[in-house]
Each structure stands twice: as structure tokens, then as C-alpha cells.
């Protein structure tokens, strides 16, 4: 239904509206599930190719505004937030987010989502990201972010997949050319985007603290119910 809506109406407006609604959603578990679903649609649907291109470059004020809007709702799901940063080439912020994962409650569901993100990185959607691994000098935070995901994973098939990919990253000494002083377009775009990444990171922490509190409350209610059943 959502894909059809994006075909019939303006996809950017659809995602903007959904993000605004989910930002006000009080059922945090539902919000996290919805964000995960919307992110999957955004990253994999052929109908949203144009929207992905807009977000990938963040060249216009409208695309930057959409990124910030999506980001605030996407914070309901940590791994989804990182995938949005990968899509928009905000690699330093993705690395900063992964650093925050050490303070989160790591569950089986969380690790499953990291596993799925690693599988997604191998898909055609992220071809440009994999090619940027050739430019080691200008994409250090992309490599650090991928290594961060690797360290989060247990030694599973996804761990082996990402480990093999990172083994293909070339030695920067071998990749030097005569024109090695050319700045990367990614950093130039990020520096001129006027996005307050510090404020976004604080918002991420705030939302995740709410999720932690809600999970503990649900666990407490479940424990009380179990005791009543035993009695």
C-alpha cells in the first residue's frame, strides 16, 4: 500500500508525513517496527529510486530537511538510523552513532537487525558505498563505521561476510596518485549542509532512553503477570 501511495502521490511528502506521525507515536514498540518497515521500503523499492537519489546527495534544502525529519523518527530504531546515515553518506555521524551502541541494551533482535544491515550493504543499492571503500584516504569514517558493525556482531555468517568485504579495502599507500590532494565530495557536501549533527545525536540518545525505559516497564509487567499465574 505504501509503495502504491508513493507512486500515485509525492513520495517525499508521504515519507515526511509518516515520519511526523511516528515522531508523536506513544507506543514505542510499534513506532520502532513501523520505522524498520518504512526504511526497508525506502532502501529496496524500485518506486523510490528517485527519492533515494535525493537523499544520497543532500544537495537541496528540501532533501536536507527530509533527512532531518526522517532521522528524528528513525531514532526509534538504532540500526535503521545508521542505515539512513549510510544512504545519505553521513559516514562520520554513522560512526558516532555506532559508538553510542555500547551504551544501549544489546538484544537478540538488535543483533538480527545488524545482521540484516550487513546483508543490505552487499545489495546493489549500496554499490556506491562499496566503491567508496577504494578511496581510503577520504572515507576513513566509512571504514571505521563498518569495522564498528563488525565488532558488534557475533562470529556468524554476517560477520564473515563483512570481514571479507573489509579485507578487500586496499592499502592507502598503494592507492596514492599524483592528484592525492583532491578533497572528497562527501566531506564538502556535509560541511555545507548546515545540519546540526550534535543536536541529532542528542535526540537519538533521548529516544533510545525512552525505549529502554519502556522495555523495562514491559518486562516488569510481564514478571508481575507470571507471579499472579503461579499464585
Predicted confidence at residue 192, as pLDDT, reads 46
Predicted confidence at residue 189, as pLDDT, reads 54
Yes or no: say if 114 and 120 are a contact pair by the CB < 8 Å rule: no
Confidence of residue 21 (pLDDT cuts 50, 70, 90): very high
To the nearest 10°, the Cα dihedral for 88, 140, 99, 163? Answer: 100
Query: Averaged over 26-34, what is the pLDDT?
Result: 93
Query: Averaged over 148-164, what is the pLDDT?
Result: 94
Name the residue among 71, 173, 165 with its Cα closest to residue 126.
Answer: 165
Mean pLDDT for the chain overall? 87
88-97, 153-162, 173-182: least confident range = 173-182
Is residue 216 scored above 90 in pLDDT? Answer: no
Predicted confidence at residue 20, as pLDDT, reads 95
Yes or no: say if 202 and 208 are a contact pair by the CB < 8 Å rule: no
Yes or no: say if 137 and 180 are a contact pair by the CB < 8 Å rule: yes
Q: What are phi and psi of 69, to 5 degrees?
A: -65, -50
Is residue 164 scored above 90 in pLDDT? Answer: yes
Kindly state the percentage of the chain with pLDDT values over 90. 66
Is residue 74 scored above 90 in pLDDT? Answer: yes
Query: Averaged over 130-159, what is the pLDDT?
Result: 94
Query: Averaged over 187-197, what is the pLDDT?
Result: 65
The helix/strand/coil state of 90 is coil
18-22, 218-222, 226-230: least confident range = 226-230
Is residue 47 scored above 90 in pLDDT? Answer: no
Is residue 212 scored above 90 in pLDDT? Answer: no
Cell of 158: 554476517
Predicted confidence at residue 152, as pLDDT, reads 94
Rg (alpha carbons) of the chain, rounded to whole number: 19
Kindly list the distances between the CA atom of residue 85 and the CA atoms of 9, 72, 111, 113, 116, in Å, as whole numbers in the listed order: 25, 12, 18, 15, 16
Q: What are phi and psi of 81, to 5 degrees?
A: -60, -40
Query: Averaged over 98-106, what is the pLDDT?
Result: 90
Predicted confidence at residue 228, as pLDDT, reads 67
**Location of C-alpha cell 509487567:** 221
Cell of 216: 523495562
Cell of 21: 506521525
Q: What are phi and psi of 123, to 5 degrees?
A: -80, 165
Between CA 65 and CA 70 the distance in angstroms is 9
Predicted confidence at residue 71, as pLDDT, reads 96
Predicted confidence at residue 174, as pLDDT, reads 62
Query: Averaged over 121-148, what is the pLDDT?
Result: 94
Question: Which tens digit of pLDDT belongs to each residue from 114-127?
Answer: 999 999 999 999 99
Is residue 187 scored above 50 in pLDDT? Answer: no
Sign of the CA dihedral with 204 first, then 209, 210, and 216 last: positive
Amino acid at each position: 500500500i505504501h509503495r502504491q501511495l508513493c507512486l500515485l502521490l509525492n513520495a517525499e511528502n508521504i515519507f515526511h508525513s509518516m515520519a511526523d506521525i511516528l515522531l508523536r507515536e506513544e507506543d514505542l514498540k510499534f513506532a520502532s517496527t513501523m520505522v524498520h518497515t518504512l526504511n526497508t521500503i525506502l532502501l529496496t523499492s524500485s518506486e523510490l529510486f528517485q527519492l533515494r537519489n535525493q537523499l544520497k546527495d543532500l544537495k537541496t534544502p528540501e532533501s536536507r530537511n527530509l533527512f532531518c525529519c526522517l532521522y528524528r523518527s528513525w531514532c526509534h530504531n538504532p540500526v535503521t538510523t545508521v542505515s539512513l546515515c549510510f544512504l545519505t553518506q553521513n559516514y562520520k555521524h554513522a560512526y558516532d552513532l555506532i559508538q553510542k551502541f555500547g551504551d544501549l541494551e544489546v538484544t537478540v533482535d538488535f543483533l538480527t537487525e545488524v545482521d540484516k544491515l550487513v546483508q543490505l550493504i552487499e545489495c546493489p543499492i549500496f554499490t556506491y558505498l562499496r566503491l567508496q571503500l577504494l578511496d581510503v584516504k577520504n572515507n576513513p569514517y566509512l571504514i571505521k563505521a563498518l569495522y564498528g558493525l563488525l565488532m558488534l556482531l557475533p562470529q556468524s555468517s554476517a560477520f564473515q561476510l563483512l570481514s571479507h568485504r573489509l579485507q578487500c579495502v586496499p592499502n592507502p599507500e598503494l592507492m596514492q596518485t599524483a592528484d592525492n590532494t583532491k578533497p572528497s565530495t562527501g566531506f564538502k557536501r556535509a560541511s555545507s549542509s548546515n545540519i546540526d549533527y550534535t543536536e541529532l545525536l542528542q535526540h537519538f540518545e533521548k529516544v533510545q532512553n525512552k525505549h529502554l525505559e519502556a522495555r523495562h516497564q514491559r518486562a516488569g509487567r510481564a514478571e508481575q503477570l507470571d507471579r499472579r499465574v503461579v499464585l
